[in-house]
Structure 1
């Protein structure tokens, strides 16, 4: 293990050590060739340009993203940007600025020759438009070309949705909902799947927390730190392996500088809200230290009181707080780039509980170090190689009402990813090797699983082949295909609990994943997509070897060591439209999951502390999930923008009338707002239907229909040509409706949040 981890770190140290040998500037200084990088030729071609508005005025604080190599630049007060050291090849550049429609450029970078210079004009935005998506493919592409359904929140859309958790922030999007277990412990649900089947990333790296293992555990990534949030809906096992059977959520904060700004840049963000009285404050700066070196420093705090539900009642024991700190550095040269970031998040929050039950609070910390490095090879077929690595330590304690610690949970995670970009004629793509290693240890009388280690080693290949007449035509028909092989093992370590959990056990799961997608443009800005994929998920330690009282679920869990791998066959078709007047994404899907693992109540309850509670084991059944989802937004008249949305998923056990638990209810919605690019105001209404297709046990109870009305207003303005200010005022659940979500894990005794008055401010400079 140490050898695996030290290899990438050693390479990072070599690249970092070479930084002082770089020229001070591109112009007027000689370039030196560092001995450690002598095999890798320098790329002399610079990609740069100017971004303006429609009047010709320069635009500052435009984020320019070269998604295929995970590089991002920020325009200065003259609208200028520059990329140094991009390997030769074709790139999709996306230009993103709050209040403006995103722009997209395809550029070809030669190995030698003249610099590539662009002039980009951005228009004031009134209709929601998708831009860069770095999560859906390893090479980056226009969203119209992605063959799976995707979601992106950024700019005004993100500020209108921002909440205390990632799950709640995304819950308004089609195909998305939240596994609600209080304000902090609300994780994403994608097309009815959550927990171990949905993977949450931060800047492309696994979050390394325990949110997937139990409903009372939080995603240890605060959405207020995001520049944007990207989602892949549907199986994404090809690129991300285990835990991506339902989809992937990537919170992108750009904590590692991947271009060097010409001046100090930064942001400040604050939010206050009434439904969980309190707020959040974040600040951050990026400081250029030299022509090739920059550092980032960021910090934030969140603090809030008990949540209010519809009707004004207070849900006790739901207050919480977090503190965050980030320190990163990045070197960007013509031959290689390397960056390292340290992140820490401390958190404490309470869990909602039914009357008469004990109040439990969680107190924990997540620490991580991430390395990202890219080397230019000078080869046409393999222009660059990227090496990423993370080391993470997560721990939390569950504190009982009398102050005693019931259980401590520790999770150490290490990941190593090596990805090579490829170019073979009309095909671009990537090949890679990935490693995931986890050491999990619950300690305490209430620990209901043994300690366990996981090892996951995988290889994958992905290719995108143009079918149209031009090699670099932006919207040519194309095929996206790939394959992946995983070896996943779990090794239990019962220690002195062998009499309860049995002796050491070992299970190994070998799996193949594959995908085939097609994107066909049918008009300017409109494309049809189809995708078929084969994914997998290995069972978790809780499902295999649990034996104890599971406080979060109120059940006594007994594992099933004979469980096999879940295998998913997903199929979906869709249409995307993205023009200056209209944004639309419509899709239908079917997901067949062989061996779907679900809890099943046994006939005989278990006596725990003088009370009988349900006994639950885990069974693998063949499941089917079928659904439709869609969203349309278009300009109407006099700067008014209207929209419609809706989604529905039906899930059950194949060949029976049995249903799967905690499936979201169908819903439809409409929105209307006035938007002139600087000032906008309006609202949206969503009707959520009753969910009566439930298992009917003590946990998955039926929920009634309800209607939610949300209102919002945003003001954007620029000061001194480069300070971008945005202020958003929101009233969520304006009618203070009292409701329960079908996906909520506490719906049998608690309601969801009531009326929320919120103010969000963000400054970019």
Structure 2
């Protein structure tokens, strides 16, 4: 298909849509009030009011997620100032996230509690995740290994999927520049405590150039997926069975040292998640939750004939005991068995590792004081036992002002590839270990203004890196330190809103006294607009300072981008929406590609799009 968009035409469409609206509702003030009572689950593995969490946690809400089905998962994270998203090009290209200055594999990504980090490589295939069935995204900043084990040094990003609340069906289509389109179809059923859901989606894009070398070509991408869910929710017991799959092909160019040239490459991917959950209220004060899940991740390099397959099976049982009206204790055990296999012409290998974690967490909650303290023992096939702990407290001086502080240790186990794959592997690697400190406050002035700030420090020992001497293999050679601060301010009145967040971090290798790569010192995010039940128009500005890349002679310059979003609910059954990502078509540099001629990966440029949703 051939689709051409001009900015003036798109702006005209937005104006036309807004011109037909006739009524205004004071919805944003209601949203501001509701945010004080937002329920989150990531910080405690059970429902908890966000204002009581003794840590910094932010929510990417449904209204943000629903702005654009075309938006990639990484696009949804960009407005979070504490996260630096590094995407090597546009759709389907390699993507990493650096939370609070920690490494790209120090952030744990979950979907309803299921780990999406491929523990063969330690990273998450963020560029291959589908955004079709997301209720909200919870971003927990700071260590979380007590509850979740390895990888959670910098924090946790958890995808909370939707559960049907009523019977309905919908069709959505969005088309945009670069011959990009996405179509969705779904149906929900909810009646008498039973629910069921089915979703299907397809995305295609001709893509954009992913580097700034003179012979770069556009790198296309296609993706399709399916998901289904069924369950029962009773007051004293319930269960759910959830399945999702996603597959596609990504084309890209890379520098080849053997031929000293750029070559066209491609890989196909396939991932699926199966999750069975059940809960039972055993008595008025004791609840049991159980989960069995499987995550499969398959990546095939079409040009180099390399296939990597990863399977993780998880089994979890948790008990929550209420101790009177103000205290509770969570006790749980999680077992994982990991299987990974890489087939390639010269050095194929297969490995299996098992790990079991035992954790306990105590919470105290009253009108003014909220505390949380936990301990975890992790037993790993390769590195043996490992212990971590965490403690946090939040004190409410009054209903609108509170301060919090926490301290916690965390760890990241060496990946299977670190231990066994390739000439640089080292089977004697130790886990990376961290300790973090944080203090902050939150202030809700009234129904319109809220703000908060925090400062933190994270020290990481046994950082895994390449040795500086022969044979230059991986080793626990570095110590890193991240020192930072963040602040936010929100304002909302009637239909209008304004929110901004700022993050500063200095991330250094303490052994060499040098800055760590791909960590911009400063990030600023600003969003403003008007929204109500019938229409909305908003803009988001994201600005980042420069960052070091590869060595002292290479760096990625700072940049700023502007996104525009609008929607119009024509009637209860039809919604029109439009988006312009990166209005100015700013071709900012994302990362140095390591070539001899100083070429950089660049972002995907502007993407203007229009869409419609028809609901029944």
Q: Sort the Cα spacing of 1:392 and 1:703 in 2 relative to 1 into closer, same or farther, 3 A.
A: closer
Match of 2:248 in 1: 347
Cα distance in 2, alignment partners of residues 270 and 323 from structure 1: 14
CA distance in 2, matches of 1:406, 1:430: 47
Q: Mapping of 1:459-538 within 5 angstroms?
A: 459-466=358-365, 468=366, 473=367, 476-489=368-381, 507-538=382-413
- TM-score, length-normalised on structure 2? 0.85
CA positional deviation for 1:433: 0.8
CA change 1:759–1:529 in 2 (3 A) is: farther
CA contact (8 A) 1:331 1:338 kept: yes
Distance 2:498 2:388 in 1: 40
Q: Across the two proteins, how many residue pairs are aligned to each other?
A: 582
How many angstroms does 1:399 deviate by? 0.4
Return the offset for 1:488.
1.5
Change (3 A) 1:267 1:571: farther
CA contact (8 A) 2:297 2:311 kept: yes
Deviation, structure 1 residue 566: 1.1
SS of the aligned residue for 1:245 comes to coil
Query: Per-residue CA shift, 1:366-386, capped at 9, x if unaligned?
Result: 233210001121253x2x101
Contact 2:27/2:532 (8 A) holds in 1: no
The verdict on how the C-alpha distance between 1:307 and 1:695 changes in structure 2, with shifts beyond 3 A counting, is: closer
- Who is 2:6 aligned against? none
Rg comparison, structure with higher value: 1
What is the correspondence of 1:424-435 to structure 2 with a 5 Å cutoff? 424-425=323-324, 426-435=326-335
1:581 to partner: Cα distance: 0.8
Task: Give 2:337's match in structure 1, choosing from 401, 421, 437.
Answer: 437
Offset of residue 709 of structure 1: 2.3
Partner of 2:453: 586
1:230 aligned partner: 138
Q: Is the 8 A contact 1:663 1:743 kept in 2?
A: no
Instruction: Provide the residue aligned with 2:544 in structure 1.
Output: 688
Q: In structure 1, the residue corresponding to 2:54 is in which secondary structure?
A: coil
**1:169 aligns to what SS in structure 2?**
helix
Q: Say if 2:160 is the partner of 1:252.
A: yes
Given that 1:125 and 1:677 are in contact with CA atoms closer than 8 Å, whether structure 2 keeps it comes out as no
Pair 1:303 & 2:204 matched: yes
Q: Post-superposition shift, 1:465?
A: 0.6
Q: Is the 8 A contact 2:120 2:416 kept in 1?
A: no
Instruction: Structure 2: give runs of 5+ residues left out of the alignment.
Output: 1-24
- CA deviations on 1:123-175 (whole Å, 9 max, x unpaired) are 36699878221112123211111112112112322245766532232022110
**What residue in structure 2 maps to residue 451 of structure 1?**
350
Pairing 1:560–2:560 present: no
Note the 1:165-184 alignment, pairs <5 A. Answer: 165-182=72-89, 183-184=91-92
Taking the aligned partners of 2:51 and 2:32, their CA distance within structure 1 comes to 18
Q: Is the 8 A contact 2:334 2:358 kept in 1?
A: yes
Partner of 1:595: 462
Q: Which has the higher contact order (CA 8 A, sep 6+)?
A: 2
Which residue does the alignment assign to 1:329? 230
Q: In 2 relative to 1, CA 521–308 (structure 1 residues): closer, same or farther, beyond 3 Å?
A: farther
Q: Deviations over 1:336-356 (max 9, x none)?
A: 212212222122112342493
Counterpart-to-counterpart distance in 1, 2:202 and 2:143: 34
Residue pair 2:592, 2:600 contacting (<8 A) in 1 also = no
Q: Deviations over 1:287-316 (max 9, x none)?
A: 24x734332221111111122579999953
1:242 maps to 2:150: yes
**Structure 2 Cα separation of the partners of residues 221 and 532 of structure 1:** 32
Matched, 1:737 2:581: no
Q: CA deviation at 1:635?
A: 3.6
Q: 1:324 to 1:633 in 2, by over 3 A?
A: same
SS of 2:601 mapped into structure 1: coil
TM-score (norm 1): 0.70
Q: Distance in 1 between matches of 2:70 and 2:36?
A: 21
Structure 2 distance, partners of 1:597, 1:717, is 55
Distance apart, 1:429 and its partner CA: 3.4
Deviations 1:401-458 (A, max 9, x none): xxxx5211111110011011111122123111111111000011265x7322121101
Q: Contact 2:568–2:575 (CA<8 Å) still a contact in 1? A: yes
Distance 1:162 1:515, change over 3 A: farther
Residue in 2 that maps onto 1:80: none
- How far residue 221 of structure 1 moved from its aligned partner, in angstroms, is 2.7
- Aligned residue for 1:377, secondary structure, equals strand
CA distance in 2, matches of 1:191, 1:295: 38
In the TM superposition, residue 222 of structure 1 has moved relative to its aligned partner by 0.9
Contact 1:439–1:452 under 8 Å retained in 2:
yes
Is 2:272 the counterpart of 1:367?
yes
2:107 aligned with 1:190, yes or no? no
Conserved? CA contact 2:406–2:439, under 8 Å: yes
The correspondence of residues 536-555 of structure 1 with structure 2, limited to 5 A, is: 536-548=411-423
Cα distance in 2 for partners of 1:418, 1:273 equals: 45
Q: Deviations over 1:64-123 (max 9, x none)?
A: xxxxxxxxxxxxxxxxxxxxxxxxxxxxxxxxxx9946xxxxxxxxxxxxxxxxxxxx93
Shift of 1:595: 0.8
Is contact 1:543–1:618 with CA below 8 Å preserved after alignment? no
Per-residue CA deviations over 1:614-642 (Å, capped at 9, x if unaligned) read: x6644431111111122212147x85433
| Cα offset, 1:523, TM superposition | 3.6
Cα shift readout 1:562-609 (whole Å, capped 9, x = no counterpart)? 3211111011122224553124342211001111113456578xxxxx
SS at match of 2:129: coil
- Aligned-partner SS, 1:238: helix
Write the distance in 1 (CA, Å) between the matches of 2:49 and 2:240.
26
**Higher percent of residues as strand:** 2
Residue 574 of structure 1 is aligned with which of 416, 419, 440?
A: 440
